[in-house]
Amino acid sequence: MKIKLWGVRGSLPVPGPHTVKYGGNTACIELRIGERLIIIDAGSGIRELGDFIIAHELPKKPIKVDLFLTHTHLDHIIGFPFFAPIYLPGTFLNIYGPVTYEDNYLEEVINGQFTYRYFPVRWSELSARMNLLYLREEQRDLGGGLSLSTKYLNHPVLCLGYRFEYHGKVFCTLYDSEPFRNPFSSDPSDPAYERGMTLEGEETAYQENQRVENFVYGADLLIHDGQYTQDEYLSSKIGWGHSSCEHAIDVARRNAVKKIVLFHHDPLRRDDEIDILEEKYARTANIGSTEILFAREGMELDI
Ligand SMILES: [Zn+2]
Ligand SMILES: [Zn+2]
């Protein structure tokens, strides 16, 4: 499996002099398995990927892509109208995304971008053939020896982690996610405190976190949310749906992950600040069997 990162930023694109090194585009990951092209998320990074595909592959054969959306927050879909292959008649696109309680959820979110109030092209004017497919927490055979598992994550909207397995190699994504926590008060002096609820909430959170950890167990490569430092997370970011670098590294180390890439950088984080985090975690703390990297636009990984 060959992986290339086309967008590594969270929340919104941040071009400018302070994001040149790690990149300012939002989430987009290219996964190649032989001739097969899989894309995870359609953040602003997908625009350049689309142009690359047209320049290098279209001359050889029509474009066929499996696009997996982790969820539908803007930073993960904003590049889709700028993915140029959708304007080409020979393109075929499977778009996978999470099921929700709403009817026609993906149709409304994806197609909904192509209305004149948001964009000058309508959905019906796109030339590519597109197929929308819903995923739950499940296991699925994608054919050709490739299998997929999905896991619901803790985020303000339904969001999936992905685990791709091929010929014994495992590639996981786990971002736009924070640890599950007990929603009930654990302070006995709080009037809302109920011991039974607290114990149940703690047990449920523990089990869900354990399931997330089992999901990434043994991964050769894990791309994990690392939007915050632990201090930032604890001081004001609990409940925002993102993880700290420290938590991500702990999860990787506890679960025999061979390589972790910290991803979904905070839009406010400048290159020099990521350099400092990298120095702290990827160099000096890079001991043991888990290799730690910080995601950078253009980074290529092979497992
Ligand atoms: Zn995001
Ligand atoms: Zn999100």
CA 35, CA 147: separation in Å to the nearest integer? 16
- Decide if pLDDT at 205 tops 90: yes
The Å distance, Cα 71 to ligand 2 centre, comes to 7
Which of 111-115, 185-189, 209-213: highest mean pLDDT?
A: 209-213
Cα→Cα distances 75→70, 246, 265, Å:
11, 23, 12
The gap from C-alpha 53 to its chain's centroid, in whole angstroms, comes to: 21
Homologous superfamily in CATH for domain 2-302: Ribonuclease Z/Hydroxyacylglutathione hydrolase-like (3.60.15.10)
Ligand that comes closest to the CA of residue 10: 1
The Å distance, Cα 204 to ligand 2 centre, comes to 23
Instruction: Provide the residue ranges of all domains of the chain, joining segments of one domain with +.
Output: 2-302
Ligand that comes closest to the CA of residue 178: 2
Average pLDDT over residues 166-177: 98
| Residue 10, helix vs strand vs coil | coil
| Per-residue confidence (pLDDT) for residue 101, from 0 to 100 | 77
Nearest to 298 by CA among 72, 74, 25: 25
Ligand that comes closest to the CA of residue 11: 1
Q: Do 174 and 223 contact (CB within 8 A), yes or no?
A: yes
Q: Flag the least confident range among 11-25, 52-66, 93-107, 165-179.
A: 93-107
More confident: 242 or 106: 242
| Per-residue confidence (pLDDT) for residue 285, from 0 to 100 | 60
Give the other-Cβ count within 10 Å of 129's Cβ. 13
* DSSP H or E stretch at residue 37: strand 36-40
Cα→Cα distances 182→202, 217, 239, Å:
5, 23, 11
Ligand that comes closest to the CA of residue 156: 2
Pairing of strands 129-135, 92-98: parallel
Query: Both tokens of residue 80?
Result: 């889709």
Nearest to 227 by CA among 174, 188, 267: 267
